[in-house]
Amino acid sequence: MEGFSDRLLRQARTVAERAGVSVVHTQSGWGDPAEVIIEFAQREKVDAIVVGRRGRGRLTGLLMGSVSQKLVSLAPCTVVVVP
């Protein structure tokens, strides 16, 4: 049975591929989101990470959320933060 996160990832992959992105890797995981993404980027040697600027945290007035800030600071590749 496909879970909610798996459906979201499948939909995101479809949108990216239709937009002309040639290689899309998706993965769901547990733990700190930024750390999970960074570990994936290191393991898979990704060229870039594209992430939204804010999540749904309580500090909604900030320019970037904590996950995007952590990725920009620590990721081993280019990070593109979109609104």
Domains and CATH numbers, the chain: 4-82 (3.40.50.620)
Report yes or no on whether pTM surpasses 0.85: no
Cα–Cα distances in Å, from 54 out to 1, 11, 18, 21? 30, 20, 24, 23
Paired with 48 in beta bridges are 78
pLDDT at res. 2 = 66
- Which of residues 66 and 73 earns the better pLDDT score? 73
Express each pLDDT in 5-24 by its tens digit: 888 888 988 898 899 987 77
* CA dist., res. 31 & res. 83, Å (int): 24
